[in-house]
Amino acid sequence: MEYRKLGNTDLELSTITYGAFAIGGTMWGGNEQKDSIDSIHASIDNGVTTLDTAPFYGFGLSEELIGTALKGKDRTKVQLLTKFGLVWDGSNQGKGEHFFDLDENGKSTPIYKLSSKANIIKEVEESLKRLNTDYIDLIQQHWPDATTPIDETMEAMESLIKQGKVRAAAVSNHSVDLLKEASKTFIPASNQVGYSMLNRGIENELVPYTIANNIGIIVYSPMERGLLSGKYFQNEKLKSDDHRNGYFGQFDLEKVKVFLDNIRPIAAEKNASLAQLVLRWTSLQKGITIVLAGARNAAQAVSNAESMNFDLSSEELSFINAELSKI
């Protein structure tokens, strides 16, 4: 495993980081809790020291499972990354920005973005309890909130660092303009954004800006929620309530299939899976600090960690990029 310094902090994070969205179950067709805990243990045992979660993932369940999995573990050997700013339980009392309505199990739940100082303090206290810890290594604003002044959000995060409840603070899903505005009050350690072989938009403006300003980039959905693993093209069926049934529709699936077939020989030469090849390619892209990879069982967790066990030559990277240009 490789470890990388995050932005202007002293945090050393594992390049492959455990992404805990799926283990929350919400939007992912449920959850097997024992498998989830096993996947966390397997990740740590294979060098993945960094775990990224959020209260929204399973409405607290993802954080609770991490807290359970870490009982008896050396807390100083693990970095916990979580978020704030998505409210679902009505405690926002009409405040915040409506994001979307989550329709699941025959129930519709309105989700709001809320990054006020009062809500941040409330959410962090709840996360500390669920994670069974007295500090969070990196707290992140989950999504920008148009109803709260950016300086209020940044000042609240800075105060949490001074209190010792948080080691570092960051943002997620922020544009360059929003990063510039936030940095007038407090320079975020990183920006967590979507990025993959099929979604490279951040390379145009965001990557150059973050490199110039020593801000890390944490990328999520590098596998496009499993599409780039190739399993979708091998008759793997999704549950009816799995959000990916609609999500995959945005891509030209035939071109994606051809691309994966064309790069498969490189994976075979490395004795690696397509998923491992995709993760390794992502980790080697300019400006990327760490890559989130989800796992719902121990085998997937081990596979993710082992994606760092090989390298890619400049010729191999050029070939992959040339094939990508055809999609």
Q: Is 135 a catalytic residue?
A: no
Residues forming a β-bridge with 3:
14
**Helix, strand, or coil (residue 269):** helix
Which structure tokens are listed for 36? 């989830």
Contact by Cβ (8 Å): 205, 153: no
Q: How far is CA 227 from the centre of its chain?
A: 16
Contact by Cβ (8 Å): 79, 50: yes
Give the span between the Cα atoms of 78 and 68, in whole angstroms: 14
Q: How far is CA 257 from the centre of its chain?
A: 25
CA-closest candidate to residue 169, choices 85, 99, 78:
85
Of 18, 57, 220, 232, which one is the catalytic site residue?
57
Give catalytic residues, as residue numbers.
57
